[in-house]
Amino acid sequence: MNKLFGVAVAGLLAIPAVADAQGIGAEAAGIYATLSGDDFQGIDAGFGLDAQLRFNAAPRFSIGAGVQLTSHGNNVVSENTRVTGFFAEPRLTFSMPASPLTPFLGARVGLARTSLSSGGTDVTSSGWLFGGTGGAMFRAGPMVNVVLAVVFASVSFGDFEVNGTSQPGTETSGTSLALRGGVSIKLGR
């Protein structure tokens, strides 16, 4: 356990040096997301968080890798349905000289998992998400931007498992519309 802790600390200490050399940034946002479509009737819109590390691959092109967590009320039980997504997000920014505004367009693709625990019963399902994103970054300082964005994605989950037992024919699919607001911090050049 001490070795694992040592490796984790060394990795965290190395991030600023790697970031400076590679142009890496971090982005964190609050998120409001819907799940829409016939399969998601009874699932409310929910709130959560979205965080990602971004690598500047070219002057106006970056690639992000991150996680999205949201919690949604439902009309079945009092406990919330949780949705977790691990995603990649390539993004192209558009230059607006002499403006603090930088618009962007991108794509988001990844793995998704939904889960609900109630009264000793655990229900889970895994699937995927893919879609597009667009928004703008507003310069708040030399290393900080405020980010506002919209993400629209197709979401699909495979058969649900109830306490580890697969339930055939229970796959679901639909769409998600998410509004994001947060900050982007430049860790390197």
Domain count, the chain: 1
Given this model, what pLDDT does residue 47 score? 97
Instruction: Band the pLDDT of 4: cuts 50, 70, 90.
Output: very low
Establish if 114 belongs to a structural domain.
yes
Query: Does pLDDT of 153 surpass 70?
Result: yes
Give φ, ψ of 78 to 5 degrees: -75, -25
**What span, in angstroms and rounded, lies between the C-alpha atoms of 31 and 153?**
14
- Domain CATH number, residue 106: 2.40.160.20
Establish if 130 belongs to a structural domain.
yes
Establish if 14 belongs to a structural domain.
no
Q: Which two tokens stand for residue 9?
A: 């600390």
pLDDT in tens, 76-119: 888 999 999 999 999 999 988 888 999 999 999 999 999 999 98
**Predicted model pTM:** 0.82
Cβ proximity of 34 and 177 under 8 Å: yes
Establish if 4 belongs to a structural domain.
no
Q: Which domain holds residue 80?
A: 23-186
Given this model, what pLDDT does residue 96 score? 86
Establish if 131 belongs to a structural domain.
yes
Establish if 11 belongs to a structural domain.
no
**What span, in angstroms and rounded, lies between the C-alpha atoms of 173 and 157?**
6
Contacts of 14 (CB under 8 A, 6+ apart): none
Establish if 139 belongs to a structural domain.
yes
Given this model, what pLDDT does residue 1 score? 47
Establish if 31 belongs to a structural domain.
yes
Given this model, what pLDDT does residue 182 score? 98
